[in-house]
Structure 1
Amino acid sequence: MRIFLALTTVLSVVGGAAPEGGSRGVDVQLYPTNGRQNVNPDAQLKLTFSSPPAIGSSGKINVYDSEDNKLVDTLDFSIPFSPSPYGNGSTKANYTDTTKYQTNIIGGLDFYFYPIIVRNNTATIYLHNNKLTYGRTYLVEIEPSVLKPARGSFSGFTLDRPWRFSTKVRGPRDGATKVVVAADGSGDFNTVQGAIDWAPANPTKHTTIYIKNGNYEELVFWQYKTNLVIRGQDREKTIVGYPNNSAFNPPNRQGPSRRPAFSFRGSSDLQLSSFTINNYYPGQAEALLVDGVRTILDHMTLNGAGDALTTYGTTYVTDSKLTGTGDTVLGYGSVYWLRSRIESIGPVTWTRTVQGIHGNVFVDSTIIGLEGNSTLARLPDNSGGVMDNWPYAEMVLISTKTGGISAEGWGPVQGPPFDSSHVRFWEFNTMDLQGLPIDISQRLNVSRELTLPKDRKILAEYKDPANILGGWRPVVLTA
């Protein structure tokens, strides 16, 4: 089951600091420590107190280059974070809204973001991406009004008494094909996004980003990269996530969706292996949005809400798990699922495949309706849309175990009459969780049961990933 956090405790947006050791009235530990050398430029700044700090509504955090005191970055806490700062407002874009919100450019796209997130007693400062560089010494100034500690006073940092650290002289060597991400600073990068920003766009060999165990709370997005492998140290202990949804980051007039925790577009020959991606907000909130060709998801865990996984292009999913809260797979692309598991509150998929491509094909997998009355796929009323009812929607189950699925299995299929003869809601050898055949006598009439020997040729075609994925034969790269 995906993790839901109460909106009142999910986030505190705070600021503030004091010299390490509490010499100005409150005990605080700093990362990086005051005066530290060899810091990665993408490091998030952390302050750990004896109790959770409270939110300030004004003040600034400024970062200066020590050589000439030039301002490098600033976070102004009088600027609101989002039209819906707790992700619980309107999911529609208001294009007449001229308010300035906290904005970070990530992978070339503008996102609303939290400049500080508090978890337990630690306040993590998120500077704007790519503002710091190698071989520099930085001075951090934090105005007192940014933070209200639970106990004691906190005077902040000034340029006369700054928080000081120095970055590494240089980054990974030219031509490197593997880098390490470690939240404690022991790797080449502290953040997943930092490593992705470094990765070459079109290398001749695969570039591997290895993520050490840890909790990486960050928005991740990139565009137009190829031959990239992102691999976690341990699937359950390497966690990348962020609180985001269509209310916190509503749509732009143009450009990709901004509501996923982790997303990419225009990429090819990508593999994600052995880590967890969480979206901590409800609503329309993908854990992952895939937009590319020849994408592999291998031994992944994805925890989202509505549209928990959105797919475009061609994707091969093996030995992975997805959890969501309805339309859990929003499928525009061709996806071959092998030995994978989906747990869904409400409809498992809304498949939007168009004529000429395949949709979601599940082989030797498991599908669970968490509230006991889910359906496998739905086609809601889209009257007036370009693709009313998606008449070429496809979802095929082959030797898949199910539980918590309604007797009708599929649907609802709504709206005005349309030609459903091209809809492929098919299943073969559907079983219960104990591996016993289920009764499909009440299935929706749009669906079809495949049988032997009649459908032997169809089954052979659908068991072969290359037939589903446009001729691509996926090869999962191992460590």
Structure 2
Amino acid sequence: MVVASLGVDFSGLNNAKMRVLLALAAVLSAVRGAALDRGTPGSHVQLYPANGQQNVSPDAQLKLTFSSRPEVGSSGKINVYDSEEKKLVDTLDLSIPFSPSPYGNGSTKANYTDTTKYQTNIIGGLDFYFYPIIVRNNTATIYLHNNKLTYGRTYLIEIEPGVLNPAEGSFSGFTPGQPWRFSTKARGPRDGATKVVVAADGSGDFNTVQGAIDWAPANPTKRTTIYIKNGNYEELVFWQYKTNLVIRGQDREKTIVGYPNNSAFNPPNRQGPSRRPAFSFRGTSDLQLSGFTINNYYPGQAEALLVDGVRTILDHMTLNGAGDALTTYGTIYVADSKLTGTGDTVLGYGSVYWLRSRIESFGAVTWTRTVQGIHGNVFVDSTIVGLEGDSTLARLPDNSGGVMDNWPYAEMVLINTRTGGITAEGWGPVQGAPFDSSHVAFWEFNTTDLQGRPIDMSQRLNISRQLTLPRDKKILAEYENPANILGGWRPVVLKA
């Protein structure tokens, strides 16, 4: 008999001696294997994709899970090579700062004289500052630059020492001689596909929401559906100029898309759309978001969602942001949804019809900025709660620049709405003279407390109006019909 792992011939030994030597051989083999494991970069770290894994989606985020929480270093590089072409396809350099305010707590004003290079990713055609690595618990997620990997390729990942530093033990990274290797799927969804699946564990067509949105056709002849499986998708999401799209979560509470972002982390550009939301889009039409949660994890001016499009439906959605938690442009229908924010919770430029929905707000619930000729925020059979007991329904403060900079046609109408934690004045503050508030429509009909009891209107702000029957029957009929608020559009919520 020959024990091949040690290369020794034991055929002349008796059984007792054989058993001892075989046991010794097993021990030596195990020791040798353990030594090899300790010497292999990353061998004590759980990897996703696994080293050598096949059929990986090109949009996959790279995850390393340690036995203790790792810290992100301030230097070192992560390099990604195409194995076949021996070509560098992406680099993350940890010596580059993440943002002018990497913790989201600095100035919210743009400094156009700042020439510092920051970590930048192009998402949906727009440049965002971003975190190349985010650590949650013991897992470090590496965010490569979007759309650098493609189908049908093998990639080698090199991580220099110091990029990640676990609290216990050490991590020497991956070297050119021993890289982290995986191969992507041969191809993406079939031509003409109308539904794709996003799954963080790699079991779907895409690993990320943004990856699926980037794939979605701009103007499909048939509706495209992106189905998101339960999971936590920590990513910045942005896209432009797409139509006829449904994005649907598996479970409203268990499908979570979010990111830490605000106007300090991503201050304004000289031109172009806002970069501070966690999830945003512009130039869209006929879009429906259903059945998932969107979070913005930073304080300040930090939208969970910014909507800029026509005929947008938000159905059974949960939105958690900070200031300006939902910013609206265009025409929007919100049904059976919940929004939480920390003041000016709805920054409203658009026409929005709210049905059976709930807003919880620290501070003013809305800053409605309706222009002449369109409707604003209309709430029907909904609930509005001030979380500190001193919120107002809407405000129109002096906007620092005179009357023309304010919003004399601002509109917010409540019909059969339950409220709690709202001041007795209900509305305000509203800028005084010379501001002309005669066209402001801050109206209410049958506003109650959370138990359904009528609210005392005797102290309501004098520019607000209480609608009554039969006097305002015609107005109420107009405002209860979504088509009248949304420019003739009659929204139909598409079910799963």
For Structure 1 versus Structure 2, the TM-score category normalised by the shorter chain is over 0.9
Structure 1 letter corresponding to 2:343? G
Q: Indicate if the aligned counterparts of 2:61 and 2:144 stay in contact, CA closer than 8 A.
A: yes
Partner of 2:357: 340
Structure 1 residues 30 and 385, CA, compared in 2 at 3 Å: closer, same or farther? Answer: farther
Measured in 1, the distance between the counterparts of 2:493 and 2:208 equals 24
Deviations 1:75-128 (A, max 9, x none): 000000000000000000000000000000000000000000000000000000
Determine whether 1:296 maps to 2:313: yes
Measured in 2, the distance between the counterparts of 1:107 and 1:333 equals 22
Question: Quick check: which has more Rg, 1 or 2?
Answer: 2
Q: Indicate if the aligned counterparts of 2:40 and 2:178 stay in contact, CA closer than 8 A.
A: no
Superposed, 1:63-142 pairs within 5 Å as 63-142=80-159
Aligned-pair CA distance for 1:26: 7.0
Aligned-pair CA distance for 1:154: 1.4
Partner of 1:379: 396
SS class of match (2:269): coil
Measured in 1, the distance between the counterparts of 2:330 and 2:219 equals 18
SS class of match (1:54): strand
Partner of 1:405: 422
SS class of match (2:477): helix
Superposed, 1:225-236 pairs within 5 Å as 225-236=242-253
SS class of match (1:196): helix
The structure 2 residue matched to 1:307, chosen from 318, 324, 328, is: 324
Measured in 1, the distance between the counterparts of 2:38 and 2:245 equals 42
Determine whether 1:188 maps to 2:193: no
SS class of match (1:266): strand
The structure 2 residue matched to 1:57, chosen from 74, 79, 86, is: 74
Structure 1 residues 244 and 195, CA, compared in 2 at 3 Å: closer, same or farther? Answer: same
Structure 1 letter corresponding to 2:293? T
Structure 2 letter corresponding to 1:27? H
Structure 1 letter corresponding to 2:155? Y
Determine whether 1:278 maps to 2:312: no
Structure 1 residues 463 and 351, CA, compared in 2 at 3 Å: closer, same or farther? Answer: same
Determine whether 1:200 maps to 2:209: no
Measured in 2, the distance between the counterparts of 1:326 and 1:25 equals 46
Q: TM-score if structure 2 supplies the norm length? A: 0.92
Superposed, 1:358-397 pairs within 5 Å as 358-384=375-401, 387-397=404-414
Q: TM-score if structure 1 supplies the norm length? A: 0.95
Aligned-pair CA distance for 1:245: 0.1
Q: Indicate if the aligned counterparts of 1:20 and 1:28 stay in contact, CA closer than 8 A.
A: no
Structure 2 letter corresponding to 1:314? T
Measured in 1, the distance between the counterparts of 2:107 and 2:425 equals 33
Partner of 2:161: 144
Measured in 2, the distance between the counterparts of 1:101 and 1:446 equals 47
Deviations 1:330-374 (A, max 9, x none): 000000000000000000000000000000000000000000010
Structure 1 residues 398 and 25, CA, compared in 2 at 3 Å: closer, same or farther? Answer: closer
Structure 1 residues 45 and 20, CA, compared in 2 at 3 Å: closer, same or farther? Answer: farther
Structure 1 residues 145 and 423, CA, compared in 2 at 3 Å: closer, same or farther? Answer: same
Structure 2 letter corresponding to 1:183? A
Aligned-pair CA distance for 1:22: 7.8
Structure 2 letter corresponding to 1:228? L
Unmatched runs of 5 consecutive residues or more in structure 2: 1-35
Aligned-pair CA distance for 1:145: 1.9
Structure 1 residues 336 and 20, CA, compared in 2 at 3 Å: closer, same or farther? Answer: farther
SS class of match (2:429): coil
Aligned-pair CA distance for 1:55: 2.2
Partner of 2:26: none
Higher normalized contact order (CA 8 Å, seq sep 6+, divided by chain length): 1
Measured in 2, the distance between the counterparts of 1:472 and 1:281 equals 35
SS class of match (1:133): coil
Number of residue-to-residue matches in the alignment: 461
Determine whether 1:424 maps to 2:441: yes
Q: Indicate if the aligned counterparts of 1:278 and 1:287 stay in contact, CA closer than 8 A.
A: yes
Measured in 2, the distance between the counterparts of 1:25 and 1:234 equals 35
